[in-house]
Structure 1
Amino acid sequence: MDRLLRIARSGTPDTGIQFRMHAYGKDDIRAFLRDVLAMANASVEGNRYIVVGVDFDEKGRKIARSIDSTDFSGKPSYHALASEYIEPPIRIRYAPVSLDGQRVGVFEIGDCQDRPYMMRADFSEKLRRGDAYTRIKNTSIKMGRRQLMELFELKFRDSVSARDIEVGFPGEIIHKDILIPTCDLSAMPSALASAKLEEMLNIRNRPTSSGSTTMVARLTHARLYGTEDPYVDRSPEDILIELNQIRSKYLHQDNHFLFHDRAEKMQLVVLNQGEEPIVDASLALALPNHDSFYVADTLPKRAIGDRFVDRSPDEIARYPAVTFKNDSIHVAAKIGDIPVGEPVEVFVSPLRLCVGSDLRGRRLGVRYSLHGQNLRAPAKGKLKITFR
């Protein structure tokens, strides 16, 4: 944190440091992606920084303008946006620091050794797949074909062929398919609570006299919730409201059920069979989305007694970046250097899955793309998951 404060306090606008008056927020994501691309492709050594909430007066003196705390809450998730739209993957973190009594934000973009960085998907009409930007002094400019060719030539000077790379599931040999057991999702805490509420709702909706309905409701409540839980007379409307809120009420309990109690931990390995180590490697996965296929986008909170407490920042940082789309789930992980002839695990903290019994007997494909600074082209392929 002291390093980020020094950047905010002492840094000046340059190729590796950008200052911006306002937070990007949800309304300026295009500018965020453009600026991150420009920083990642800049010809500087080491980390790069974007400081938000700092302006300059006519004499060039810094003026700190406080950034709302909600900008650091993960909405929008700047890390997830970078993972979803930029390739190869970029290491990025965002943290608040106090400058002259004001809360400002600092983006730290990790040492970018895998240039060129480009848009992997369309964001808008003005920021399309394949677009790339770089930063020269304190200005971001769109890269042309000649500039991209120079970076590719530099990248492939001492390169490794994708044909020499094997990606798969670990074992005595590297497997291209894996069996994952399913479970009964009706045992989820929110599902159990919903079933009880629906039974109570059915009783309240019975066309019988008020007195007999209340008596049956009291007896049913005692059977479902126990005699220690006092009965509260609720209308059908009240029960419906509670049903609509059931998933949010049991969010942490459900996540603990899915990604701790019944979780399957999925690991991948990469084997480099070439003659040179792969430098600064990263892996991207695309999995199909399904109502009964759950993938954790962060580690579940830790259960201590009847409370759920946050994981440590280090634990959270070790888990891969996961983003969701309508029909797919995207996972990105930074691996680092991959030596020759030695399988290397992809995830520091394995990916956590939970699969409902609706998928039993089904098979899903998983597409992968391995990037590396000295890979001539990404190593791409497909793996298979069979559910039992």
Structure 2
Amino acid sequence: MRQNEVKIDEMIEYGIESQTLDFKMEQYTKEHTLSFIKDIMSMANAHNTEDKYIIIGINYIHGIKNDIVGITEKFKDQAIYQNTIYDNIEPQIHFEYFPYQWNDKLLGIFRIHSCNDRPYMMKKDFSTQDPKKALRRGDCYIRRGDSQNNVIRRDLDEMIKDKLKKNKINDEDIQIIFSESKSDEISLSKIGTLDISNKFLDKKAVENAIEDRKGGVPPEKIHPVFETAYNMGISKKTPKMMTLEELEDELEYRIGYNKEIILHETFENYSSKLNFLIQNNSEMPLENALFTLKVSSKYVNIADMIYKGPGNYPTISPYVINPNYHDPYPDVEKIDEKYSIMINMGKIRQHSPYPNLTFEEPIRIFVRNKCEKSEIEIECQINADNLPKPIIKTLKIKVKGD
């Protein structure tokens, strides 16, 4: 038997009417709509965070064992009751109505839950044959003990105070962790000595090829390193395909080429790729959230872009800028010996089953060899339109050594 069923069984057999429990002998009919509206509203407005129950099919007399009579008429559709409440009360009250078998008796259970938007009140007039019993727009009732009362100023003060408390986002409600380690710590090794060989075509080889071409050397006799570069995918043309102008363009392009290749090797093959997860465990979303990461550049090195490797650079033509191109790598700035990365996260919803990933493309980072610290702190900050002050968390890189 499920825990909730055990609770319902105990209420049926031993329960007494209270702030969270009421009993009725019969289902609410059209003639009892006014009573139904007041009962549901009063329960929802009660100063209690627990689920509230109205159990149908019990003749309750205080001080005497509950008389379980059951429901003999047709069981009413939940939608009828829900439409009545939705049409007459604001904001929306969350409740359900379902059949429940107790031995040989059929009972009806109203469960009123998630009442975190009090006060609930009439949004329009509800007329009856007796004008004195009519409900007016703005009427508001609350359950105290086993009775219903009009809401008074003290009740409203308590409801507003409770709502503000629930809507406040505290530091402990927001969790920021490394996506790779699923914790606020991660271990990284120092980068060590890089094994980047001198296999790449340098600008001197291009200069030699140009001199050979100008001196009348046939294309097929030009320096063999060009063929090697073509076979490696670095050059998209062999010397046989290139004119002298193309070779001169190639020389201009190669001036910075080797640096790019080395940076590619360093950040794509030797560094770590880090991303971060944000979980919002509060009762409200973070609106227009801005995530900022800061870490000292004395201890780590972070790539400011994704450097392309062999085969990804055009041999002759410079990059053609596509106005619709979106670079997924975050903007990395270096200010006062600190790396700073900032990204707009938009709305970070509460209690999402999937934590929010901060970056589309993880940052490339490595610990410098000269770093003597065993621990490096990363400061993470979240600003949002509905945060009175930023939320700051500190994550740690554990340096594993050389």
Shorter-chain TM-score bucket reads: 0.3 to 0.5
Larger Rg, first or second structure (1 or 2): 2
TM-score, structure 1 normalization: 0.40
